[in-house]
Amino acid sequence: MAASGRKLAAIVAENGKYRSGQVMKLLIQTSAWLLDWQHGTGQHGRKMQRKATRNTRGPSADEKRFAGWVKEHDCIQCGRPGPSIVDHMYGATFKRNKVLIGHRALLPLCVECDEVKTLGSARAYLNHFGETQAQSWVRLVEHCHFDIPQDEYEAIMDWNR
């Protein structure tokens, strides 16, 4: 742990609620969690993946490649250089007209642009950026070398939020 971490641990321990060793353990766990979050990995360096459930399947190999392609792009709104956060526009398990679109409806966003929607809503996204998420997605897939299935494309455009 860096000297600044030890100094913080000593300051918190002086407060009397925690022993220095407890604070160091907490700092190490927190820093490991932050690194996992920053790099999009879970425990032991594995990528975080939603598991398949009874109601929906996990992402296919093509959908995983598409998500990787999205992650390497610059932020779709402000242009901040990638890798970006892969934002599931409607959630990973979202279906429209009985078509699973959650694994395709993805946007590359930087932390600040992602917070507009995460802390707000789809309407906050529209008000802040002047376009719906579906309109942003269309701008993204114009440059896409993947074949987007027609039923998924139509379902995303039909939802248009």
Residue-wise pLDDT tens digits, 105-140: 899 999 999 999 888 888 899 999 999 998 998 999
- How many angstroms separate the Cα of 68 from the Cα of each of 7, 8, 72, 98, 101? 39, 37, 7, 25, 16
Class of domain 61-159: alpha beta
**pTM surpassing 0.85?**
no
Residue-wise pLDDT tens digits, 55-73: 677 788 888 898 899 999 9
Q: Inform me whether the pLDDT recorded for 12 exceeds 80.
A: no
Intervals of CATH 3.30.40 along the chain:
61-159
